[in-house]
Amino acid sequence: MQFPNPLRSLPEEAYSSFPGQQEDERILYLVRPSWTREVIGYLKVIVVASVVAAGLWYLLQRGFLVLTEEREMQAWIGIGLLGTLVMLWYRQISEHSRAYITDRRFVRFEGAIPDWQSQRALFWSDVVKTRTFAPNFLLRMLKIGTLELIPNFAVEGQNIAVHHAYMYGDLGNYLDKVVFTFRTKPQEIVALRGFVPKPKGQRY
């Protein structure tokens, strides 16, 4: 089973097990956000920091804000440090974001703060349908988009979505296959092959 590496690897045990995994529950595929999620996050931080820096420069140049040379230097350093800390925080939580497709359910771990992550799961019996889409043309060309699982009305809570998933279209088809197999031939789930992130015709 192959797991493409977005920007860096997870600990080795994360590829074969996860917190709350049930006995004999088999991992069919590990979905990790593509590198685009982290890069876009960094770009957002850079844009915001640049706007703040430009605003500070404008106020200083127009005389609306008067600072000593020492205070001005502290302000510039503060903007740079804050931007760096936000980027490091974003990187930390992105590392822990992942989702597991198993022979029983779909489990998503989402980084919230460093060293802590939220968990949501949907058993295949609770999934009504799946949906895939790309937010823009560029990501669609890169085969990067969103996977969304829609639960039935008996399940409380919102849909489970994984953003910036590589080969999202093929993964959506694979999820449909898992749900269909579970509904029509549940005994064949145990023999279901894991998803391989390769073009059709080169997976097995």
Element (H, E) at 111: strand 105-113
d(CA 173, CA 98): 19
User: Residue 1: inside a domain, yes or no?
Assistant: no
159 and 79 both lie in a single domain: no
| Chosen domain end from 72, 92, 112 | 92
88 and 107 both lie in a single domain: no
Question: What is the Cα 73 distance to its own chain's centre?
Answer: 37
User: Residue 3: inside a domain, yes or no?
Assistant: no
User: Residue 134: inside a domain, yes or no?
Assistant: yes
d(CA 118, CA 96): 10
105 and 183 both lie in a single domain: yes
54 and 140 both lie in a single domain: no
User: Residue 204: inside a domain, yes or no?
Assistant: no
Element (H, E) at 95: helix 69-95
| Chosen domain end from 67, 92, 117 | 92
* Average pLDDT per block of 10 residues along the chain, 204 residues long: 50 79 92 87 92 91 82 90 88 84 93 74 91 92 92 74 91 94 90 82 60
pLDDT at residue 8, as a whole number? 55
Sheet of strand 160-166, all strands in order from the earlier edge strand to the far edge: 127-133, 144-151, 160-166
129 and 181 both lie in a single domain: yes
Q: Which domain holds residue 120?
A: 27-33+97-191
Domain at 108, CATH number? 2.30.29.30
Is residue 139 within 8 Å of residue 145, measured between CB atoms? yes
pLDDT at residue 191, as a whole number? 87
Domain total for the chain?
2
pLDDT at residue 3, as a whole number? 43
160 and 147 both lie in a single domain: yes
Structure tokens at 109: 């771990």
pLDDT at residue 2, as a whole number? 43
pLDDT at residue 65, as a whole number? 80
pLDDT at residue 4, as a whole number? 47
- Provide CB contacts within 8 A for 80, sequence distance 6+: 49
110 and 176 both lie in a single domain: yes
What is the reported pTM? Answer: 0.80
